Amino acid sequence: MTESKVGVSKRRLFRVYIDESGDHTYHSLERVEKRYLGLTGCIIEAEYYRTTFHPALEVLKQKHFPHDPDEPVVLHRRDIVNKEGVFWRLRNDENHKAFDQDILKFFCEQKYVLITVVIDKKSHLERHGEYAFHPYNYCLAALLERYCGFLNFYNAKGDVMAESRQRTEDKKLKIAYQALYETGTQWRNCDFFRRVLTSHEIKLKLKKANIAGLQLSDLLAHPSKQEILLGEGRISNIGKFNERVRNVIQGKYNRQLYQGLVSGYGRIFLK
């Protein structure tokens, strides 16, 4: 991964924006939509985010969904797919086609690094029983190991932001993050994380807060999870639009610099 692709500036400060796709519980695991949890992180350099990424997304939203800036439009994949709320404009085929073209262009042209972790909860539970990890926390640890590896490699620093969920889940997530920061993981000691993370707390923001990075991770979490499941032979197709997304984000995945490996770096499958 070259510096030009990630938008590195002299400050070398980054943030990873995290969102999930799927269910984080161990219920109804025979159903495909319940069996797999995906966690996607989008790494964006701070100054680039301020000057380029966030403004570009606001221009795109204003173009397709004109609105009062005091009442911002928040891109949410589920509402877009269902054409609900302000996204009713997408019920018009021409509007839908134009938006698809522009959002794909945005995915392709913006500078960010993508990490997606998917866990097969059914296999994990069968293998580990009562010792099985909490699916979200397990995926988070795997994602942050790669994120901090990225930061260490570039001698950079950064923090972590995720979408706020329910109050109980947010509390658990904060505890899981603090444990990682204070004691490390089974594979990495705490110094590995403390060297590069600028905060001992994870930042949590509601969807309505209009965080551009969280909107990107929301839009990419499902298609990138589906891509991994397709590659693992767990599903047979990912749908036409997801295929188009897949084609434009291939160069965005975190990778091992010298050999260009993506598996294990930008795409991780846990069992």
Here the CATH number for the domain that contains residue 25 is 3.30.420.10
| Average pLDDT, rounded, for the chain | 93
Instruction: Provide the pLDDT for residue 11.
Output: 54
Least confident of 79-88, 97-106, 193-202, 253-262: 253-262
Residue 235 CB neighbour total at 10 angstroms = 16
Higher per-residue confidence, 25 vs 50: 50
Instruction: Provide the pLDDT for residue 258.
Output: 85
CA distances, 147 to each of 154, 177, 195, 202, 253 (Å) = 11, 13, 12, 14, 12
Are residues 106 and 56 in contact, defined by beta-carbon separation less than 8 angstroms? Answer: yes
- For residue 7, how far is the Cα from the chain centroid? 18
Residue 111 predicted with pLDDT over 80: yes
Q: Which helix (H) or strand (E) holds 217?
A: helix 212-231
List, for residues 226-261, the tens digit of each pLDDT value.
999 999 999 999 999 999 999 999 999 999 988 899
In the chain, beta strands by DSSP E: 13-22, 36-45, 113-120, 157-163, 203-205, 267-270
Going by C-beta distance under 8 Å and a sequence separation of 6 or more, which residues neighbour residue 215? 57, 74, 75, 76
Per the structure, the complete domain to which residue 66 belongs is given by 3-270
| 20 vs 42: CA distance, rounded Å | 12
Instruction: Provide the pLDDT for residue 10.
Output: 57
Q: Which helix (H) or strand (E) holds 144?
A: helix 135-153
Residue 7 predicted with pLDDT over 60: no
| 117 vs 37: CA distance, rounded Å | 8
List, for residues 175-188, the tens digit of each pLDDT value.
999 999 999 998 99
Strand 203-205: give its sheet, edge to edge: 203-205, 157-163, 13-22, 36-45, 113-120, 267-270
Indicate the DSSP class of residue 134.
Answer: P
For residue 217 the two structure tokens come to 């991770």
The total number of structural domains that make up the chain: 1
What pTM was computed for the model? 0.93
How many residues can be counted in the chain? 271
Are residues 222 and 38 in contact, defined by beta-carbon separation less than 8 angstroms? Answer: yes
Instruction: Provide the pLDDT for residue 25.
Output: 85
| 27 vs 121: CA distance, rounded Å | 9
Instruction: Provide the pLDDT for residue 29.
Output: 86
CA distances, 204 to each of 160, 161, 166, 263 (Å) = 9, 6, 11, 28
